[in-house]
Structure formats: structure tokens, C-alpha cells
Amino acid sequence: MNIVWAIILLAGGLVILWKSADLLVGGAVALAERFGVSPLIIGLTIVAMGTSAPEVAASIAAAIGDNGDIAIGNVFGSNIANLALVGGLVALIRPLRIQLRTLRREIPVMLLVALLLWPVLFDKNLSRPEGAVLLSVFAGLILLTVYIARKDKRLTAENTEKNDEMDSRLRGNDIRSGNDIKKSVFFVVVGLAGLALGAEMAVEGAVFIGGRIGLSDAVIGLTIIAIGTSLPELATCIVAAIKGHHDISIGNLVGSNIFNTLLVTGTAGVICPFTMEEPGLAAGAYYWIMIAVSAGFAVLAIVGRRVIGRAAGIILLCSYLGYMVYLFCL
């Protein structure tokens, strides 16, 4: 590969990401409306899992290649990029509105699972049993999310006076509804596949460029790969913000960070246990930067009365810029 081909891959990947995100958001919102599930739940599960797929692939590949620095650097860097870079850019486009229950439930969970990594990574090793514990916590959270979604849906149905009328209307339109569901699922699947392809192209090109300019593995993992694997979140959240789907954006950001912390780290550790060479990654400076950014995001939401406005977006972006300066000035 040469530098020209790397730039073409990077640019082409970004275009595919944008178009795929548009399909994903449209399909996800349609499914949420069709099944009476909150868009937030869709964002926390289907959308978050799909946009976290590049992080899973990148960290597993790094672990198999015996490069724990890139594997964990990708997780930390992606979590920081999701909240500071993606969250900041989205807030500048359109202020993000956060539900009260999200501020009380999902955001604290995001912080708690991030803190869970401290005892796991403190010894600079991620063993297979430790990875299994992270995956077990992840499975428990998914089951709890599904339970809450079903409970919320049931309560909504019980409190809807026109529930019987709606049921009969749906029964009269089975064929049309079935086609709508298939179309929405098709959009979601194609959107997720496109995000994975676009991210892979963009990351391959960016990593080649980073290697040519002499960046270390830790910095490549924390910056180029982290930003590259966060591109699906960026594209999805921007499209959702433009269309006014705040719950999809917030669910994607918070859900992706939870997925990165538990699913990405846990899967990489179970498949191929690894060791970290960079002290800052083993519950060191980079880890605490991730915690500080996560806590800062929550504080901005509280101070803004559940709105991440443009001023908060500027603060988040400035924080990310400061983080990048810190990395490259070490």
C-alpha cells in the first residue's frame, strides 16, 4: 500500500460510514415505533452493539497479535472519543436532550463499569477469567435492559386507552406491517454492515498513515484506531441529531461506552489473554483521563439540566483537543 491508496481508503470509508448511518438510524427508529420500544433502548442495544463492532474486531486482532497496548488503548481512546469528540460535535449541531431516567440509570452504569476496569487492569495483565467476569457483567446488563424494555412496553400498553383499537388496526394490516418490518430490518442490517466496512477502510488507511509518520503503538491505539473505530458512532449520532432523534444519539454514546468497556475488553481477554507494556494504560494516566471525561460528561448534563448544549459541546471538544496535545507532547 502507498500513501495515495491509504488516503483513498480513508475518504471512501468516511463516505460509506455516512450513508450507512443514515440507513441505520432510519431503520432503528422505524423498528422502535413499530414495536413500541423506546428509541433509547434501541440506541443502547442494537445501535450501540452495531457501532461497537469495529472496536471488538480491532481489539481482538490486537490481542491475537500480542499487542495489549493497542487492544486496551482502543477501548480507552474510543470511550474518550465517543463522549468528548462525538458528543461535543453533536452538541454543536443540535443540543442533546437527556431523559431523567438516563441520567439516573444508564450514565451511572457507564461510570461504574468503567471503574470496574481498575482492579482488572491494575497488574498490567488481562487474564481469561477476568475477561469472563467482564462478559458476565455485560450479559447481566443486557438481560436487565431487555427486562426493563418489556416492562416499559407493558406499562405503556396498559395505560393506553386505544390499545384494543390499535390491536385491531394492526391485525387488519398484517401484510403491510410485515413489509414495513422487513424493510426496517433490512435498513438496519445494511446500515450496520456498511458501518463495519466503512470503519475498516478508514482505519486501515489511517493506521498506514500513522505508521508512516512514526507514531507508537499506544498512541496509534489511543488516537487513530480509537477515532477510526468511533466513526460509526460519530456518523450515527450526527445523523440522529440532525433528524432530532436525541434518544438514539445518547443511547448510542452511552451504550457504546458500556459495550467497549465490557464486551470489547472481555472478548479480547477471553480469546487471547494479554499484557500491557505502557504504564498509562494499566489503570494509569490514560485510564483516569477516560474516567474524568465520563464524569465530566455526566456533570455537564446535570449542570445543563439534562441538556448538553453548545457551550458544553465546546467544553467537550476543547477537552478532547487537550487530550490529543497531551498524547503527542509526551
- pLDDT digits over 275-307, tens only? 888 777 777 888 999 999 999 999 999 999 999
What's the confidence (pLDDT) of residue 17?
A: 67
> How many Cβ atoms sit within 10 Å of the Cβ of residue 164?
9
Residue 59: what residue type? S
Our CA angle for 84, 224, 98, nearest 5°, is: 20
What's the confidence (pLDDT) of residue 315?
A: 95
Q: What DSSP assignment string belongs to 40-102?
A: HHHIIIIIHHHHTHHHHHHHHHHHHTT-HHHHHHHHHHHHHIIIIIIHHHHHHHSPEE--HHI
Within 13 Å of residue 187, how many CA atoms lie on the same side as its CB?
18
> How many Cβ atoms sit within 10 Å of the Cβ of residue 212?
12
Query: Exposed (0-12), middle (13-18) or buried (19+): which is 317, by Cβ within 10 Å?
Result: middle
Which set of grid coordinates corresponds to residue 293?
Answer: 471525561
The domains of the chain, with CATH numbers, are 3-328 (1.20.1420.30)
Say what the alpha-carbon torsion angle 200, 206, 212, 216 is, to the nearest 10 degrees.
-90
In three-state secondary structure terms, 219 is helix
Within 13 Å of residue 248, how many CA atoms lie on the same side as its CB?
30
* Site of grid cell 474510543: 78
Per residue in 119-154, pLDDT (tens digit) is 988 888 889 999 999 999 999 988 888 787 777 666
What's the confidence (pLDDT) of residue 218?
A: 66
C-alpha separations of 232 from 16, 175, 253 in Å: 10, 33, 11
What's the confidence (pLDDT) of residue 170?
A: 39
What's the confidence (pLDDT) of residue 175?
A: 37
Which parts of the chain register pLDDT below 70? 1, 10, 14, 17-18, 21, 25, 32-33, 35-37, 152-179, 195-196, 199-200, 202-203, 206-207, 210, 215-218, 330
Cβ neighbours for 78, distance < 8 A, ≥ 6 positions apart: 55, 226, 229, 230, 256, 257, 260
Q: What DSSP assignment string belongs to 256-321?
A: HHHHIIIIIHHHHHHHS-EE---TTTTTSHHHHHHHHHHHHHHHHHHHTTSEE-HHHHHHHHHHHH
Report how far residue 301's alpha carbon sits from residue 320's, in angstroms, rounded to the nearest whole number.
Answer: 17
What's the confidence (pLDDT) of residue 63?
A: 79
